[in-house]
Structure 1
Amino acid sequence: MQWKSLFQKPFHSHQRLQETPLQLESLEKRQLLAADGLVIDINAGAPSSNPDAIAELNGTAFFSASDGSFGFELWMSDGTSAGTQLVKDIRPGSQNSDVDLLTNVNGTLFFKANDGSNGAELWKTDGTSAGTELVKNIRPGSSGSNSLSMVNFNGTLFFHANDGCYGYELWKSDGTSSGTELVTDIIPGITGSDPRYLTNVNGTLFFGADDPTNGEELWKSDGTSAGTMLVSDINPGTADAYPLGLTNFNGTLFFRANDGSLGRELWKSDGTSLGTVLVKDINPAGESIPVDLTEMNGTLFFAATDGSFGFELWKTDGTSAGTERITDIQPGPDSGVSGSGFDPGMVNVNGTLYFRGNDGSTGIELWQSDGTSAGTMLLDDINPGAGGSYPILLTNVNDTLFFRANDGINGTELFVLGEADVPFFVTGSDDGSGRVLVLDENGADQYFLFPYSQAFTGGVRVATGDLNGDGNTQIVTAAGPSGGPRIRVFDLETGSLSSGALIDFYAYDPNFTGGVFIAVADVNDDGFDDIITGADAGGGPHVKIFSGQDGSLINEFYAYAPTFTGGVRVAAGDVNNDGMAEVITAAGTGGGPHIRVFDGNNTIGFPLVGPATDFYAYDPNFTGGVFVASGDVDNDGFDDIITGAGETGGPHVRAFSSDDGSMLHDFYAYDPSFTGGVRVASFDYNDDGYDDIITGPGPVSGPAVRVFSGIDSSLLTSFFAGDSQIEFGIFVAGGMGTLPEVPFPTSAPFSSSFVSEDSDPPEDVNVESPTAKKSWVDDAEAFFQSAEEIDKLFSGLGIE
């Protein structure tokens, strides 16, 4: 699984391409979800969006957050950056509506909010802006009824409110103004009984309430005034028992209470006075203060202290003998579990218990347990070091864990725990075959596919990314020479054609057969990775950028003089640390080893100015072409530029710092006498925070994939992508993603893999539309003001 943050998906160095494979950073290779731990950075940068009150409606998470422009308002998320959005600005402008207490009742989400006119009142939503409305102004005027507790009780909302006449009492609502009414006035008059911690246990509503005779004690209701009554005066007389943490465990209410003698301990109740009893005096010398009561697999888990150890993880089967500590996470009297008496600090998701733990070295972080000591462990150090990420609001949304945390970079934002992402590699055959092979982190074949006809032997270039914003990785392919400029997109996990705006299209005139190079990255910060293409030999150095969100042509330009016919290779990376990917180009065969960087989001693809944005990667007289990738190999926040020499140049790999232009790495990936060249890609293969360098040889060589450390260029792993005797050469990509649970069969016949026999253009695709943006050659005067500047930019390329 991999961490995802949910707002404004920033382009991070861990979103690698191919000539740059995209990687969503895995907080564990191990187990966590999404780029740098966030789903999205709602309030971009260090300021926090402080998401609150997470709840599920129809499989989607709803919550309160502030993006810095609006106040705290109602948001929704499907767990992806693209699927995270504001539902409604209830209190227009920058002021807060303070959405809270989100409660799902039969497909309607009730909550408390303040629109600036009516005070904090009862609202509801169906998940749309138009369907988000005030239910009733219970307390007319601006004071608000200000509920502090809500629950779905047998299909009706029950809640705590103050209408200004009866004080805080028990109310109910069917979602209409007329159907919103007081249930009972427990303490007659304006004082109010303050009923809170409303909990449904098999058709009985339990809660804590305060009356002048008994103090704050345990009450119950069947939903009627006559059926609302005191359960037990646990702390006799007017003293308070303070029942808290009310939880349904196997049809019995469990909770924390103070009987006046033993302090705050674990209790249970069957709804009768005689059946309301202490479970166990866990801390005989003091009080155990149990919190975060959570059922999982027939056992009740909670945090408590027995006086000898700090707050640690406990469990009970409902008996005194069956109540025991599971493990001592932080040895000694210090607490290993950071409980929360109010916000959810522990949750069961698919039979795994997640909670806030602290082992004394990582700070308060997200932990998991299967209910045993050996199975209790740190899930990930989201905020590395001793600081802690302080995860809270742990919520099960459609069998997915959502929560709030602070990774130390993006502030307090929304996180989600998804499926296990692991390192993977994708290789595309060079001229001689049209096969794409997917391999796991050890180089074991997972499956292969033929993106185009099996008869096509012009080779396939590959990249990876998330083009449709669903949080899952896709494989992007481009046909090599002798094929049309066709781009196709496949799901990594299934090997089938993907969904989204960009699935199957021609990047250039369908009659162009020179081949296409590709890269994938989010150039415009819209939460969708985009496809960057470069025409190969014969097409001119023509670069295009297509939107992953809607398929439109974002930009196109010529990276070098339009008359140059050697083609252009492309990569992408955030070389200036602005949160968006820039387009990196390298001249093809016949030109000098010229590297340039462009602002892909600029309407004219303007060249970027920086320490490593216009330079020669090798001797200017070398004309074998250059392959290019990008990755943050020195972990400084700037994606660096990685180059591989083309044919006749030897397998020479270099990496240049985007921060200061210095050379970070300089080595030969294979025998220096090999003249087929070397292709490059980058991602953090070994999860050490440094992007590593992936290489594949050109022709004529076996498909030997090698991975070199971003720290010191040492060899981390190597393997053959398929038959070692096949000498076509390969293109490489990789990243983090979800592979098939069981590898597809990869021996003949090939029916288990995707095989395209379709040689016709896809329908309804017209990337050469007359309405497309003008190219570099159309607007040349807007780029360069003099022939002198052109000469300066293209000198050394061998182009007059």
Structure 2
Amino acid sequence: MTPRAVVAALLTVTILGVVPPTSAEPGTPALFGPSPEELRVFDSIDSGGRYEPGSAVVGGRMVFAADGGAEGTEVWATDGTPGGTRLLRDIHPGPMDSDPIDFVAFAGLVWFSAYTPDTGEEWWVTDGTPEGTRLFADLVPGSSGTAPENPVVLGGRMYFKGQAVGAGFELLVTDGTVAGTRLALDIFAGPESGFPNLITRVGDRLAFSGRVADGVLKPYVTDGTPAGTSRLDQLPLTVDLRPAEFTAVGDRVYFTALDPDAGRELWSSRGLPGDATIVRDIAPGTGGSYPTSLTAFRDRLLFAAYQPGTGAELWSSDGTAGGTQLVRDIEPPGGVGVAELTVAGDELYLVADDGVHGREPWVSDGSAAGTRLLADLDPGAASSGPRPMAAVDGRLLLNATTAAGAEPWISDGTAAGTRQLADLVPGAGGSDPWRIGVLGRTLVFAGLLAPGDRREVLRAVTVPTSTTTVQVRRKYRWKAARKRRIVLPVTVSATVPLSGTVTLTRKGVVVGAGVVVNGQARVRITKRLKKGRHRILVSYGGSIDAQPSSTTVVVKVRRRGR
């Protein structure tokens, strides 16, 4: 049996032999490491969106927007503790909102757009402290403001959509200084706006949707200079493609576009002028397959698309028509369709209804055989309606609804490793959590405070670390080494009793593997060792409850007869 097979077999034993609970009784503490910690209660907490980041990190602090009550929606920061959660500045003084949004880390600061009556919407910056929170510049003097949005960092500069004096809303750029903030591209030349939207980093360039005429949007790619800007399609300027969901995979950029003959389908480009084409007409005719949830996974694009006869299902593409295929027909005819594609670790998660288990989390490796129901969180035909919140250290945090209400759950990609994080608000309603951001190994999230209470509470949960220690004798007999009888007692410690696997590696080759039960494992070295000193890497692979850890030990084999 190969080392990979040994580890797989041990994992199978762990999963089949020890099945931890998958839900909590109302009011019970967390099932995953420590309980989520309550940081502060707010009137409301903003979450942002795909193109409007709801938080950013600087100096070990997460910067976000919330309404603390007296000062309206303003800029706050947290280090993941109650004492380290505080208002940075009341930018629009009093109960009125400055509505901070579009948070991005750049040039050693967090940048965000905020409003005041005197400046309109402009860039503000912070180092995570009240004294370091200030207006960057009133780039468009007066109350109209630059109204910056959709910031993307590329090559030591930050690009964004904003209003430029005399040019309308175009692509702007800054190097972090007022003098270095300027118009990058005037897409629609003159005072009218080109409205660059959906700005997305694609390798060392940016892709975006730009306006070329009234009601006509086209796909572009740029290196940030006029000379390095190209329109990706060759269709007449009168054809409105309305490109959306730019996603990079390798040297390709994928997007969806509304073709007059094919409807909305998947397109692909290598970033060359006019080279964008429909990858495959998945739903022949003008109706379109309406691809959504475009997601880079390994070296392919995974997405949901509609096809007559199967409905909206999981598809995979390598950028060619022949390499664009249905992964698996999960949903019954007339189903809602797969959705919410999210990558965590080496797994792709999605939400689907197979007609038996309701809408539940599924997991996929990109193949039909490797696409399976992760867990039936709300057993039977009922649906838990999971919504992904964040990927933290290879695990997926999600919001799922069961008899305990809508509460946070966590998964490592296995049924045994999928469980409710905590029942934060007992009762059928639940806390209904949503993501604010990730601070290192800590997920900061928001949710409802209590049944019937409209206030929202900020919470944080940290993935625990683990420590691996090994008991090693001063020397081992040569006969025991020759007959593969050396056994190393291993202890893996964390805040909760751990399970999982431990592997022994010597010179890059696995020489042993064992199962961890309640933090303990006895691992036999399966390779014959010669006399002398042997460096063995002892690695705990991690589990739903703790991070991986490792240590190196020296095994000394004494000479024959000594």
With structure 2 as the length reference, what TM-score do the two structures score?
Answer: 0.61
What's the CA shift string for 1:56-77, capped at 9, x where partnerless? 5367655444455654444556
Q: Does 1:197 align with 2:198?
A: yes
Distance verdict in 2 for CA 1:71–1:57, change over 3 Å:
same
Offset of residue 120 of structure 1: 2.3
Equivalent AA in structure 2 for residue 223 of structure 1: G
SS in structure 1 of the partner of residue 272 of structure 2: coil
In structure 2, the partner of 1:354 is: 349
Alpha-carbon spacing, 1:742–1:100, altered in 2? closer, same or farther (3 Å):
closer
- Rounded to whole Å, the distance in 2 between the matches of 1:63 and 1:237 is 40
Q: Structure 2 CA distance, aligned partners of 1:408 and 1:90?
A: 42
Contact in 2 for aligned 1:312/1:325 (Cα 8 Å): yes
1:125 Cα deviation after fit = 3.1
Distance apart, 1:242 and its partner CA? 1.0
Instruction: Give the match for residue 27 of structure 2.
Output: 13
CA distance in 2, matches of 1:253, 1:56: 26
**Aligned pairs for 1:493-508 within 5 A:** 494=493
Counterpart in 2 of 1:281?
Answer: 281
- Cα displacement (A) at 1:386: 5.0
Q: Distance in 2 between matches of 1:76 and 1:110?
A: 13
CA shift for structure 1 position 198: 1.4
Change (3 A) 1:105 1:293: farther
Q: Which residue of 1 aligns with 2:104?
A: 103
**Could you tell me whether the CA contact under 8 Å between 2:40 and 2:82 is conserved in 1?**
no
Task: From the superposition, tell whether residues 328 and 191 of structure 1 become closer, same or farther in structure 2 (CA, over 3 Å).
Answer: same
Report the Cα distance in structure 1 between the residues aligned to 2:228 and 2:376, rounded to whole angstroms.
Answer: 48
Q: Structure 1 residues 80 and 406, CA, compared in 2 at 3 Å: closer, same or farther?
A: farther
Q: How has the CA–CA distance of structure 1 residues 743 and 124 changed in structure 2, closer, same or farther, with 3 Å as cutoff?
A: closer
> Pairwise mapping of residues 167-316 of structure 1 onto structure 2 (< 5 A)?
167-212=168-213, 215-234=216-235, 236-285=236-285, 286-316=287-317
Q: How far did residue 113 of structure 1 move? A: 2.3
CA displacement, residues 399-431 of structure 1 (integer Å, 9 cap, x when unaligned): 5656778889898x99877896999xxxxxxxx
1:742/1:161 CA distance change after superposition, 3 Å:
closer
Contact 1:493–1:738 at 8 Å: present in 2 too?
A: no
The separation in 2 between residues aligned to 1:98 and 1:200, in whole angstroms, is: 26
SS of 2:136's partner is: strand
Please list every run of 5 or more consecutive structure 2 residues that lacks an aligned counterpart in the other structure: 1-18, 421-459, 467-490, 497-517, 521-542, 552-562
Distance in 2 (CA, whole Å) between partners of 1:256 and 1:210 is: 16
Question: SS at the partner of 1:240?
Answer: coil
Q: 1:622-680, CA deviations, whole angstroms, 9 ceiling, x for partnerless residues?
A: xxxxxxxxxxxxxxxxxxxxxxxxxxxxxxxxxxxxxxxxxxxxxxxxxxxxxxxxxxx
Give SS of 2:493's match.
Answer: coil
Distance 2:305 2:240 in 1: 21
Amino acid paired to 2:264: R
| Letter paired with 2:387 | P
Distance in 2 between residues matched to 1:60 and 1:493, nearest whole Å: 30
Q: State the alpha-carbon separation in 2 of the partners of residues 73 and 368 from structure 1.
A: 38
> Aligned partners of 1:493, 1:71: CA distance in 2, in Å?
47
Aligned pairs for 1:181-580 (under 5 A) are: 181-212=182-213, 215-234=216-235, 236-285=236-285, 286-338=287-339, 345-358=340-353, 367-373=362-368, 374-378=370-374, 381=377, 391=387, 394-396=389-391, 401=396, 472=464, 494=493
Question: Which is richer in strand?
Answer: 2
Cα deviation code 1:226-249 (max 9, x no counterpart) = 433433244x23121111111111
Contact 1:279/1:319 (8 A) holds in 2 = yes
Alpha carbons 1:39, 1:416 under 8 Å: kept = no
Deviations 1:276-303 (A, max 9, x none): 1211111114211112211121121112
Q: Gaps spanning 5+ residues in structure 1: where?
A: 4-10, 16-23, 27-32, 339-344, 424-467, 475-491, 499-718, 722-735, 745-800
Partner AA of 1:297 in structure 2: R
Q: Which protein is bigger by CA-based radius of gyration?
A: 1
Q: What amino acid is aligned across from residue 152 of structure 1 in structure 2? A: V
After TM superposition, the structure 1 = structure 2 runs for residues 648-663 of structure 1, keeping only pairs within 5 Å, are none
Cα distance, 1:251 vs. partner? 1.6
What corresponds to 1:152 in structure 2? 153
Instruction: Please give the per-residue CA displacement for 1:66-121, whole angstroms capped at 9, x wherever unaligned.
Output: 45565444455667778766555544454433332223335433332224543322
CA distance in 1, matches of 2:126, 2:242: 33
Q: Which amino acid aligns with 1:57?
A: V
Tell which deviates more after alignment, 240-249 or 126-135.
126-135
Pair 258,742 (structure 1): closer, same or farther in 2 beyond 3 Å: closer
379-388 or 247-256, which moves further after superposition?
A: 379-388
Instruction: Give the conservation status (yes or no) of the 8 Å contact 1:108–1:125.
Output: yes
Aligned residues: 414
TM value normalised by structure 1: 0.44
Contact 1:79/1:416, CA 8 A, preserved across alignment: no
2:181 and 2:75 map into 1 onto residues whose CA distance is 22
Alpha-carbon separation, structure 2, partners of 1:97 and 1:61 = 18
**Matched-pair contact (CA < 8 Å) for 1:203–1:222:** yes
Alignment-mate amino acid for residue 232 of structure 1: D
Distance 1:161 1:48 in 2: 27
Q: Secondary structure at the match of 2:194?
A: coil
Q: Percent identity?
A: 30
CA distance in 2 between counterparts of 1:407 and 1:177 reads: 52
Instruction: Tell me the distance in 1 between the aligned counterparts of 2:375 and 2:76.
Output: 27
The verdict on how the C-alpha distance between 1:2 and 1:142 changes in structure 2, with shifts beyond 3 A counting, is farther
Instruction: Give 1:381 shift.
Output: 4.2
CA separation of 1:337/1:739 partners in 2, compared to 1, >3 Å: closer, same or farther? Answer: closer
What is the aligned partner in structure 2 of residue 738 from structure 1? 545
2-structure distance, mates of 1:383, 1:116:
53
Contact conserved, 2:152 with 2:200, CA < 8 A, in 1?
A: yes
CA distance in 2, matches of 1:184, 1:742: 48
On the 8 A contact 1:54/1:61 being kept in 2, the answer is no
Distance 1:108 1:353 in 2: 32
- Matched with 1:577 is none
| 1:16-27 alignment runs, 5 A limit | 24-25=30-31
* Structure 1 counterpart SS, 2:189: coil
* 8 Å Cα contact 2:463/2:546 also seen in 1: no
Question: What SS is found at the alignment partner of 1:149?
Answer: strand
